[in-house]
Structure 1
Amino acid sequence: MAKNNRRRFGSVRKLPSGRWQVRYYDPVTNERRPDEKTYATKTEADIRLSQIEADMSRGVWVDPDAGSVNFGEYADTWLKDRKLGATTRERYEGVLRLHIKPPLGSLFVSGITAPRVRAWRTALLDSGVGEPTVVKAYQMLRAIMNTAVDDELIRRNPCRIPGADAYDVPERPVLTVPEVYAVAAAIQPQWRALVLLTAFTTLRLGELAALRRRDVDVEARLLRVRRNQAELSSGKLLTKSPKSQAGFRPVAFPADIVPDLVHHLEHHAAAGQDGRFFVGPRGGRLRRSNFRDDWIAARTKAGVTEDVHFHDLRHTGNTLASQSGASTRELMTRMGHSTAKAALNYQHMTSDRDRAIADKMGEAARKALGKDDPPAPTGTDGAREG
């Protein structure tokens, strides 16, 4: 016979095996249920029963059976319910498919424990998966388990490894102004404006690829970012609005590159006000693959280190703008950072102040190139928006 020890809340009893069992009334069903584990001593069972009573009184008790949900299916539903852009969703799907579901997908949500999370992360790193990818996988797993806490499937998020959600980003190289111009001179003529505009406006490649002729005002020395082009791993191209209000922005450029932009409009841009400012080699859409080989060849010819990627032109431009006196607020606006603060600051920043920053960037460039004065203002048909 099992020995029963009744208390004001629940009971503990000794089983024929000699171990102790905890029983209590489920606050939802009002039915008596046993704890999920048995205990070696009555003291351990009493402590566990007290813990359950305290959790119920504080409203933090979680049904032990609630976590008996397949984690792989739960993660798929979690991702399906998220409002994400096409490229972000594709990236999340890849991380989930390659790095999270294979080792964890067959477990219950409640089976994703802190020790198991640590072992999973260590196994990824030991298998040669890059630290940035492991960080992204850990961040995603933590987000899924946060939702599981909100859904009352588990009591506490098991992703609690200090520092696992970040990594030290290696400092990217910064080109000098002469190096920027050397690469621009060495690259195919249709990409010269792409190099200079990236360095002096710090636009992302997707923003540059989505520019229309009417977005570039050479007389006002201003371009307007209204859209972004995204490329999926399948090769499909999507044109979409910027992710936040901060992405919609005017960006000024120095007078020094106006002649290059005018030449580009006359010889390389698509026709018409809505024609694309940058097009591919055969008149199609601009893709990174369109000019990757040309970039590498020009970089080599200009004597620039092979560690420099095209995206480093954006980093170079941001550095030059900062050195030219742009405040943090102005720099964030110029870059189009997707934060509430950056978006709010953008609404109050005038194009005159932004043009002053561009002028200082031009002065720094002329000094580095040994030039005295900017070229005389010029314009071209179809370059200014009505």
Structure 2
Amino acid sequence: MPADARGHVRKLPSGKWQLRWYDRKGVRHSGGAFPSKSAAWTHYRDVVEPELRGRPVARRDLTYSQLVEMFLERHAIVAKPRTIAELRWRLKQSEEKFGEVPLSELEGMADEIAGYAATISERLRYPLMAAFRQALEAGIRYGYITRNPAKLAGPNPMPTPREIRVYTAEELKAIVAEFGTLEGAAVRFAAATGLRPAEWAAIERRDVDRTRRIVFVRGTKTARSRREVPLTTAALAALDEVPPRIDSRYVFTTSRK
């Protein structure tokens, strides 16, 4: 490919980025309104340059469902299976509506997507639309589209948090009385630390540091993340009620673990 066929990018007054390049006949071309400089170069590398070299280009007829599968497969390299499973469930909703639509068409369907968002219940709208946006953002990075129609459809505000029920000490005692030793200790530990069920259920004996009076909580989304949570006297007392078992590394284990 001749040197003058290489592409260039320039920033538009709108803040978007535009590609400019010469074809093999020396004719200059320009176009696109990419969200970032890197997105413009990605499109050039995946679409324009292969055409200039006579090679096959990235598929432009890719459907939204095909993009979702591609995105989940690649995201699974860095995310936990639980995260992928949750994303798959959230994306299934938008797939039912737009799954067979080619990305080339979906890119211009911000109005239809806004209408779809309006049909989702308030509690589900934020997570479902956030996943929709995330998948389409991956489509931009991969070079299949240049803008995110789910974002152009409008804001995606988080719903108002539900009011948290706070139990009194007497109510907590009544709840604990309904359970056996292990389950009661788990309730007391959860109340003393404020950990989520998925967090305290995954605590291992090695995570408890009685000397420093802390417990290490491993991330539920990324493998390396963890944080320190202080252990109050009540939390330590709850742990004292749970004898260690040789058949499980978990603190709050049952016969099924």
Instruction: Give the TM bin, normalised by the shorter chain.
Output: 0.5 to 0.7
Contact 1:213-1:270 at 8 Å conserved across structures: no
Q: Which residue is 1:253 aligned to?
A: 232
Aligned-pair CA distance for 1:89: 0.5
Aligned-pair CA distance for 1:253: 1.7
What is the letter of the counterpart of residue 71 of structure 1?
Y
Q: CA offsets per residue over residues 275-321 of structure 1, 9 Å max, x none?
A: 532222xx232xxxxxxxxxxxxxxxxxxxxxxxxxxxxxxxxxxxx
Separation of aligned partners in 2, 1:31 and 1:106: 37
- The equivalences for 1:316-327 within 5 A come to none
What is the letter of the counterpart of residue 81 of structure 1?
R
Q: Which residue is 1:183 aligned to?
A: 175
Change (3 A) 1:30 1:106: farther
Contact 1:117-1:158 at 8 Å conserved across structures: yes
Change (3 A) 1:261 1:79: closer
Residue 197 (structure 2) pairs with residue 205 (structure 1):
yes
Residue 116 (structure 2) pairs with residue 120 (structure 1):
yes
Separation of aligned partners in 2, 1:53 and 1:261: 67
Contact 2:186-2:238 at 8 Å conserved across structures: no
Q: Which residue is 1:170 aligned to?
A: 162
Secondary structure (helix, strand or coil) at the match of 1:84 reads coil
Contact 2:193-2:230 at 8 Å conserved across structures: yes
Aligned length: 215
What is the letter of the counterpart of residue 284 of structure 1?
R
Q: 1:72 aligns with which of 41, 65, 77?
A: 65
In the superposition, the TM-score normalised over structure 1's length comes to 0.47
Separation of aligned partners in 2, 1:53 and 1:242: 41
Contact 1:225-1:250 at 8 Å conserved across structures: yes
Change (3 A) 1:168 1:27: same
Aligned-pair CA distance for 1:117: 1.0
Q: CA offsets per residue over residues 181-204 of structure 1, 9 Å max, x none?
A: 332233333312111111112223
Change (3 A) 1:55 1:262: closer
Q: 2:256 aligns with which of 276, 284, 293?
A: 284
Secondary structure (helix, strand or coil) at the match of 1:178 reads helix
Secondary structure (helix, strand or coil) at the match of 2:67 reads helix
What is the letter of the counterpart of residue 102 of structure 2?
F
Secondary structure (helix, strand or coil) at the match of 1:81 reads helix
Q: CA offsets per residue over residues 118-162 of structure 1, 9 Å max, x none?
A: 122234x2xxxx433332221122122222233343332212233
Separation of aligned partners in 1, 2:231 and 2:222: 18
Separation of aligned partners in 2, 1:223 and 1:259: 13
Contact 1:222-1:251 at 8 Å conserved across structures: yes
What is the letter of the counterpart of residue 120 of structure 1?
Y
What is the percentage of aligned positions where both structures have the same residue? 17
Q: 1:270 aligns with which of 234, 245, 248?
A: 245
What is the letter of the counterpart of residue 122 of structure 1?
A
- The equivalences for 1:70-149 within 5 A come to 70-82=63-75, 83-97=78-92, 99-112=93-106, 113-123=109-119, 125=120, 130-149=121-140
Gaps of 5+ in 2: 1-19, 48-57
Report the structure number with the largest CA radius of gyration. 1
Contact 1:227-1:248 at 8 Å conserved across structures: yes
Q: CA offsets per residue over residues 5-57 of structure 1, 9 Å max, x none?
A: xxxxxxxxxxxxxxxxxxxxx9464579xxxxxxxxxxxxxxxxxxx96759x
Separation of aligned partners in 2, 1:91 and 1:132: 16
Secondary structure (helix, strand or coil) at the match of 1:264 reads coil
Aligned-pair CA distance for 1:168: 1.7
Secondary structure (helix, strand or coil) at the match of 2:241 reads helix
Aligned-pair CA distance for 1:104: 0.7
Gaps of 5+ in 1: 1-25, 33-51, 231-240, 286-386
Q: Which residue is 2:215 aligned to?
A: 224
Change (3 A) 1:72 1:30: farther
Change (3 A) 1:68 1:28: farther
Alpha-carbon RMSD: 3.8
Separation of aligned partners in 1, 2:206 and 2:141: 48
Separation of aligned partners in 1, 2:183 and 2:256: 14
Q: Which residue is 2:185 aligned to?
A: 193
Separation of aligned partners in 1, 2:123 and 2:204: 34
Secondary structure (helix, strand or coil) at the match of 2:172 reads helix
Contact 2:213-2:230 at 8 Å conserved across structures: yes
Secondary structure (helix, strand or coil) at the match of 1:116 reads helix
Q: Which residue is 2:8 aligned to?
A: none
